[in-house]
Amino acid sequence: MRKIGVLALQGAVAEHMRSIAAAGGEPVAVKLTEQLDELDGLIIPGGESTTIGKLMRKYGFMEAIREFSAQGKPLFGTCAGLIVLAKRIEGQEEAHLELMDITVARNAFGRQRESFETDLPVKGIEDPIRAVFIRAPLIKEVSPEVDVLSVYNGEIVTARQGHLLVSSYHPELTDDYRLHAYFLNMAEEAANRKKA
Ligand code: GLN
């Protein structure tokens, strides 16, 4: 069974752990960088990206997660986690991990639509998935290496670049575990590639 960590500094940790378990993985709440060694994949949850970024710097996760990524191990960022993975954040000079070649706009859906739910088609998943958007970021630009997996109202909300997966929305707040199953599959592939 693949071990999937959920970065447990701030945000929707328990919900991701539940979804990973439901999708057939073994969830691990990650509070220390040493825990990364035993993992096959890592989720950076939603919450507040500035806070998560600060705590990551404080506890040594910036370098540790960049190293994890350099080994080809999969990362999945949801909502604030997407912002943390992005190379560029609109209107901010500094980004966080700068791993995924995308530009994001924070809180991009505007006040009237701060939160909403929808059924969203995602490339690689058969039927639309249930997606919860809460003060969600949008992906404004992607490099050619990035595969756009879904678009909502003309805006990119799910994308993948090799071993990196991001969603603007919260897939962990529903009983639909298919995006977590998709990520587990990425972790399985990465682990098998290593063995080969
Ligand atoms: N608006 C938050 C941010 O900018 C993200 C919201 C979320 O994760 N639900 O960090």
Of 107, 117, 138, 157, which is best to mutate to test ligand 1, by the most ligand atoms within 8 angstroms of its C-beta?
107
ipTM of this complex? 0.92
> According to the model, what pLDDT value does residue 103 have?
98
Catalogue all structural domains in the chain, each as residue range(s) with its CATH number.
Answer: 3-195 (3.40.50.880)
Q: What is the pLDDT of residues 42-74, one digit of tens each?
A: 999 999 999 999 999 999 999 999 999 999 999
Residues linked to residue 28 through DSSP beta bridges, in sequence order: 5
**Is 1 exposed, middle or buried, given 0-12, 13-18 or 19+ CB atoms closer than 10 A?**
exposed
Residues 159-175 have pLDDT tens digits of 999 999 999 999 999 99
The answer to whether the CB of 94 falls within 8 A of the CB of 87 is no
Beta strand 147-152 with 155-161 is: antiparallel
Reduce the DSSP state of residue 25 to 3 states and report it.
Answer: coil
pLDDT at 187: 98
**How much is the pLDDT for 173?**
96
Name residues contacting ligand 1 (CB within 6 A): 46-49, 79-80, 83, 106-107, 134-135
